[in-house]
């Protein structure tokens, strides 16, 4: 289970994807609807689409965070990872790169050996 799933933030990443796609479609669609809807409505659709794209980045950048150290994971991934791999990195990340949250639990079977004499 990755960090976003453990901290119930996966929906934020997918909301980012959906709003990014909708904003892109709205921005491109206005060019085809220019004559049918009129110039003013087409411009409003284009501006709304661009606003949706920008808003999706702002939302994801500010809301996808580590609950322990509050590192903005989305912005960290966008800055530190490659252009084509940042989104897959954030979806696959197991722990926070800054603080290690959530710490990996100890294996159940691993116990300390008692010090002292051996009993037979």
* Position 12 in a domain: yes
46 lies in some domain = yes
How many whole angstroms from its chain centre is CA 91? 7
Domain annotation covers residue 68: yes
* Residue 77 domain boundaries: 3-92
pLDDT of 120 higher than 80? no
Span 15-74, pLDDT tens digits: 999 999 999 998 888 878 777 878 888 889 889 999 999 999 999 999 999 888 889 988
CB burial of 60-77 (b: ≥16 within 10 Å; e: otherwise) equals bbeebbbeeeebbbbbbb
Q: Is there a domain that residue 32 lies in?
A: yes
Report the C-alpha gap between 61 and 78 in whole angstroms.
9
Q: What is the pLDDT of residue 39?
A: 83
Number of domains in the chain: 1
**79 within domain boundaries:** yes
Does 102 reside within a domain?
A: no
Residue 43 lies in a domain: yes
Q: Specify the pLDDT at position 22.
A: 94
pLDDT digits (tens, 9 = 90+) for 78-117: 888 877 888 888 888 888 888 887 765 555 555 555 566 6
The answer to whether residue 9 sits within a structural domain is: yes
CB atoms inside a 10 Å sphere around CB 115: 5
pLDDT at residue 105, rounded to an integer: 54
């Amino acid at each position: 289970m990755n960090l976003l799933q453990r901290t119930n933030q996966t929906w934020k990443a997918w909301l980012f994807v959906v709003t990014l796609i909708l904003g892109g479609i709205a921005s491109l669609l206005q060019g085809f609807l220019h004559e049918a809807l009129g110039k003013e409505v087409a411009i409003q659709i284009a501006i709304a689409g661009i606003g949706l794209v920008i808003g999706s980045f702002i939302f994801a950048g500010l809301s996808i965070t580590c609950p322990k150290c509050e590192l903005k994971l989305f912005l960290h991934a966008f800055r530190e990872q490659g252009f084509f791999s940042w989104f897959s990195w954030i979806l696959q990340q197991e722990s926070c790169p800054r603080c290690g949250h959530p710490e990996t639990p100890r294996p159940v079977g691993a116990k300390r050996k008692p010090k002292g004499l051996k009993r037979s």
